[in-house]
Amino acid sequence: MTTTLIANLSRYVPELIAVVTMIGALFLEAAVGKFDKAKDYIFSAAGIGLILCLISLSKNMSLSATPIFTGAVIIDPFSTMVKIIMVLGVLGSLYVAFVSKDIAENHKSEFVILAMGVLVGGMLLASANNFLTVYLGIETLSILSYVLAALKRNDGKSTEAGIKYALYGGITSGVMLFGMAHLYGILGTIHFSEVLESLSTLDQTKMLILLPSFVLVFVGLGYKIACVPFHMWSPDVYEGSPIPVTTFFAIVPKIAGIAVIVRITHIFFDKSGVLQDSWVGFLQVVAILTITLGNILAIGQKSVKRMLAYSSISHAGFMLIGVLVIDQIGISAICFYGVIYLFMTLGAFGITSFLGDQFNSDRFGIFDGLIKSHPFMSIAMIIIMFSLGGIPPFGGFIAKYNILSASLHKGFYTLAIIAALNSVISLYYYLRIVQSMVFKDATYEENIKGFTFINQLVMLGICFPILFLGFFWEKIMITATNAHLLVK
């Protein structure tokens, strides 16, 4: 018993490191919180923890897939890849938090602790193998997120965001729990592998009874990835939260949610039949709505943060297309999309954060005429915007190409055409930022304080993969192709 536990724990090192880092940061905050340089210590400790986590994750990448802890958790290459994306996302948003002025200095260490906690929840979700673990992951992720959203305690919008997030989250996780209970009531188990077994014994008509319960489960997950019609909270929360938190929300919970949806879809709906058809049809409608509505609503926004919130909704819709094709091409497309999306989101929010700190605003006007005074950062932003819009030769194009390729491979022509044409709509609002930077005249003379040399280096580090993966994406794509799921 103990030996298997230890063997299991050896697979669980990345999560353990994350937990230890979180607790360590908590103690460190309590111990040195009053000192001047406390923030530096805590951030560097968290950074080291995350890098260790990355190293151990990359070791896990080559291991074969195994269920651990009596099958409650599964460690397979797909979950490891998703965790790598999440850890990188946390690392990036920690950096944004470190330099941002949007979070008060004495709250920054709280951000570290909470973000690490959300990461633990996300990692649990990515490798969840029974419904209880899914619920546990979602709640760990959510409850800490509510606090994160309200991190600007004295700001009305931020507290409003926290409340909205909590209320909405509470309802959806209740609905999800109801769906899970329903499934348990019919099938008598919560383990994915056992659910699969009992599913295969049911005949086709009885299976249809299960569909509503799966949809109820989807409500909880769809809320996390902010897909239409569960997206209402996201613009308000994104706008109200401090920018580093928004950056964090746009990456970690979203990727974790997608990972669970991928797993559920691949395990339960792999066999063709009436259940698969209706689930795929449902996801298709959700994906189309998510992409289209996200894009259309983004057009009219006056705040860059809100615009990016809606754009991240539509990106989640793109990733859903990768889910509903139910094959390895789809999974690899999602993984690739996730990697590119991570860099693009970090870059876009990072630059918005630097500018937002200076002008205390997140209107489009802050970008006016930036190319004349700060060409380097503007070119970085242009690259990120074109990449988000899916223009070659940037990584975003390859990501969209892979998703379209996956959907056409399975013959979803209508879906592919609608998704492709949505890129035109999305390009319109991404171009607005490029337009303000390049075509408009600057309304201010001052030097942007946030554009320090180190920040420029960081942006170079973010833009490099976006450019590089636009030309030479083979390696990452092969890694993503190997990131298969364990379906038992």
In this complex, which beta carbon is closest to other proteins, that of residue 174 or of residue 375? 375
Select 215 or 408, whichever has its Cβ closest to other proteins.
Answer: 408
Give the nearest distance from C-beta 437 to other proteins in angstroms. Answer: 11
61 or 420: CB nearest other proteins? 420
Using the minimum distance from each CB to other proteins, give the nearer residue, 153 or 302: 302
Q: Least distance from C-beta 345 to other proteins, angstroms?
A: 22
- For the CB of residue 389, give the shortest distance to other proteins in the complex, in Å: 8
In the complex, the smallest distance separating the C-beta of residue 358 from other proteins, rounded to whole angstroms, is: 24
- Shortest reach from residue 414's CB to other proteins, in Å: 5
Per-residue 3-state assignment (H helix, E strand, C coil) for the chain:
CHHHHHHHHHHCHHHHHHHHHHHHHHHHHHHHCCCCCHHHHHHHHHHHHHHHHHHHHHHHHCCCCEEECCCCEEECHHHHHHHHHHHHHHHHHHHHHHHCCCCCHHHHHHHHHHHHHHHHHHHHHHCECEHHHHHHHHHHHHHHHHHHHCCCCCCHHHHHHHHHHHHHHHHHHHHHHHHHHHHHHHHCCCEHHHHHHHHHHCCHHHHHHHHHHHHHHHHHHHHHHCCCCCCCHHHHHHHHCCHHHHHHHHHHHHHHHHHHHHHHHHHHCCCCCHHHHHHHHHHHHHHHHHHHHHHHHHHCCCEHHHHHHHHHHHHHHHHHHHHHCCCHHHHHHHHHHHHHHHHHHHHHHHHHHHHHHHHCCCEHHHHCCHHHHCHHHHHHHHHHHHHHHCCCCCHHHHHHHHHHHHHHHCCCHHHHHHHHHHHHHHHHHHHHHHHHHHCCCCCCCCCCCCCCHHHHHHHHHHHHHHHHHHHCCHHHHHHHHHCCCCCC
For other proteins, which is the closer residue by CB, 214 or 473?
473
Nearer to other proteins, 39 or 315 (CB): 315
C-beta closer to other proteins: residue 52 or 442: 442
> C-beta of 283: minimal distance to other proteins in Å?
18
- The footprint of other proteins (CB under 8 A) covers 386, 391-393, 397, 401, 404-405, 408-409, 411, 413-414, 416-417, 420-421, 423-424, 427-428, 431, 434-435, 438-439, 472-474, 477-478
**By C-beta, is 363 or 409 nearer to other proteins?**
409
From the CB of 439, what's the least distance to other proteins, in Å?
Answer: 5
Minimum distance from CB of 280 to other proteins (Å)?
A: 15
